[in-house]
Chain A
Amino acid sequence: MKYISEFRRSELAQGLLTQIQRRSKTPVRLMEFCGGHTVTIFKYGIRQLLPETVDMVSGPGCPICVTANADLDKAIALSQMPGVIVATFGDMLKVPGSDSSLQEAKAGGADVRTVYSAMDALKIAGYNPDKSIVFLGIGFETTAPTIAASVLQAEEEVLRNYYVLSLHKLCPPVIRALLDAGELKLHGLVCPGHVSAIIGSRPWEFIARDYGVPCVVSGFELLDILQCVDMLVDQIEDGRSRVEIAYRRAVRPEGNKQALKLMNQVFEPCPAQWRGMGEVPDSGLKLKKEYQRFDAELAFDIKPVPTREPAGCICGDILRGVKTPADCKLFGKVCTPENPVGPCMVSSEGSCSASYLYGVGFEG
C-alpha cells in the first residue's frame, strides 16, 4: 500500500461513475471548498464525467487567493524594513498587492526567501542572528499547527529573532458566512480533507444540521472525489443530511488532538479579512498573549497604505462561487499564470490557474 496509485484505478472510477449515474435523479449543485480538490477535478475532467444532474462549483479554499490586499501590503511593507528577512511559501511571491508584489520587492533588493516549511524559516533565523526573520503565516487549519510548532520550537531554541505575521484563516466560519449570504444554493459540500485531518469531521456538523446541506470529507485522488460525490448524491436522494468521511485513511472524527493542542496553545481566533467576503468573525488566528513576542504585527511598526484592487478582476466573485473564470474578461487574455492580475491565477490551486492549466473556461 503506497496510498497513491491504489486510489487512481480507472476500473474502480468507472464503477463509481456508473453508480452515480444510476442514483442521481435530482439536479444538484455541489461545492468543493478546497483548491486541492479543484485541481484533482480539473486534472481528471471529473465535471465532464459526471451526469448532467450533478453541477460542481469551486469554493474559497485557497489561502493565497483569499488573503486580502491589506494583509499582503503588510507583508510587502515588512520586506522593505532594514534588517528584516521575509520567509514565505513560494505561491505568495507573485500575488499582486495594492502597489507591488513580494517578487517585485525582492527584485528591488528586499530579502524575501521562499521556503518549503516553517522549519526552514527557523533555520534561516538560526543562521542570521543579527537579522529579524518574519515568516508569513498563511494557510488554513492544516498549516496553522505547523506554524504553532515552529513558534514553540523557536521558544525552546531561544531564537529571539523569529516572528510570525499571522494571516491564518479558519474554514468552518467562512462556510457559515457563505451559506448565510445566500448567494448560492448548495445541495452538498465536499469538505477539505487535510483541514479535516487536523480538526476532524465534527466541526462541519452545524452545516448538515442547521443548513440541511450534506457534508462529506474527501481525499485528493481520483477515487476519493468520485466516492465523495457518490456519498453526497446518496444522501441527497435519500433526503439525509449529515457529515460523513470518505477519506477514512487520513481523517478521524476527532481530528489530530496533538495538532489541535499546539494550535490552541499558540493561537486564538480573531476576525479576519477575506478577499471577496470582507471581514468574517472568528475566522482568523492571532498569537495568544503568552506568545506575543513572536507577533510581527506588534514587533514592527507597519504603516497602513491605501489598498487598491486590480481593475476588472473578479477573483472575489469566483472565490464565493457565484462566478467562474470563464465569466472574467481578463481570463487567459490579460491575466495568465505568467502575468497574473488576481490571486486566483497565481496560486496553483486557484480556480483561474487550474482552469488555465487544464483548458477549462476558454469556451466563451
Chain B
Amino acid sequence: MCLAIPALIKSIEGKEAEAEIGGITRRISLWLTPEARVGDYVIVHTGYAINILDQKEAEETLAMLEEIARSAEEEG
C-alpha cells in the first residue's frame, strides 16, 4: 500500500509533472515536492512525488555495500 517507485521528471507544468517510470510516461503531482526540478528522480506514491531521491546518498550507500562485499570475500 505504501508502494512508491522512482521516476525521472521530464517536464513540469504548474504543480504537475511528466515523469518517466520504467520507460513509460505518467503525469504526477508535485504538491508534496514543490522544489522538484526537471532531471530529478522522485519517488512516486499513488501519483504523488513524496520525496526527491538523493543521488549522492545512493552512491555512498552502494560504495559502502561494495566495501562490505570486498572485505567479506577477503576474510572468507
* Residues of chain A whose beta carbon lies under 8 Å from any beta carbon of chain B: 1-4, 6-7, 11-12, 14-16, 18-19, 22, 34-36, 61-64, 89, 91, 116-120, 138-140, 142-143, 145-146, 149, 152-153, 192-195, 197-198, 220, 223, 227, 230, 246, 248-251, 256, 258-259, 262, 347, 349
Q: Once the chains bind, are B33 and A248 in contact (CB under 8 Å)?
A: no
Residues of B within 8 A of A251 (CB): 51
| 14 further contact pairs, Cβ within 8 A, besides A3-B41, A16-B69, A142-B50 | A14-B72, A15-B66, A15-B72, A18-B76, A142-B2, A142-B45, A146-B48, A194-B2, A197-B43, A227-B61, A248-B57, A249-B54, A249-B58, A347-B1
Q: A3-B53, A248-B60 are in contact. Are A149 and B32 (CB under 8 A)?
A: yes
Q: Once the chains bind, are B65 and A227 in contact (CB under 8 Å)?
A: yes
Q: Once the chains bind, are B50 and A118 in contact (CB under 8 Å)?
A: no
Q: Could you tell me the distance in whole angstroms from the C-beta of B34 to the nearest C-beta in chain A? A: 6
Q: Once the chains bind, are A15 and B70 in contact (CB under 8 Å)?
A: yes
Q: A258-B34, A259-B50 are in contact. Are A249 and B69 (CB under 8 A)?
A: no
What would be 25 A-B contacts, judged by CB atoms less than 8 Å apart? Answer: A1-B59, A3-B53, A3-B58, A4-B6, A7-B62, A12-B62, A14-B72, A16-B68, A18-B73, A35-B1, A36-B2, A62-B1, A118-B47, A119-B29, A139-B46, A142-B45, A145-B32, A146-B29, A146-B31, A152-B31, A195-B2, A198-B50, A249-B54, A256-B32, A259-B50
Residues of B within 8 A of A119 (CB): 29, 47-48
Q: Give the contacting residue for B51; candidates A118, A120, A153, A197; CB below 8 A.
A: A197
Residues of A within 8 A of B43 (CB): 194, 197, 250
Q: Once the chains bind, are A140 and B47 in contact (CB under 8 Å)?
A: no
Q: A142-B4, A194-B43 are in contact. Are A250 and B53 (CB under 8 A)?
A: yes
* Residues of chain B whose beta carbon lies under 8 Å from any beta carbon of chain A: 1-6, 29, 31-35, 41, 43, 45-48, 50-51, 53-55, 57-62, 65-66, 68-73, 75-76
Which of B1, B43, B47, B62 is packed against the most chain A CB atoms within 10 Å?
B1
Residues of A within 8 A of B2 (CB): 34-36, 61, 63, 139-140, 142-143, 192-195
Residues of A within 8 A of B55 (CB): 1, 249
Q: A18-B76, A197-B51 are in contact. Are A117 and B1 (CB under 8 A)?
A: no
Docked complex Cα distance between A118 and B51 (Å): 17
Q: Once the chains bind, are B68 and A256 in contact (CB under 8 Å)?
A: no
Residues of A within 8 A of B53 (CB): 3, 249-250
Q: Once the chains bind, are A146 and B57 in contact (CB under 8 Å)?
A: no
Q: Once the chains bind, are B33 and A258 in contact (CB under 8 Å)?
A: yes
The residue in chain B whose Cβ has the minimal distance to the Cβ of A34 is: B2
Docked complex Cα distance between A216 and B66 (Å): 20
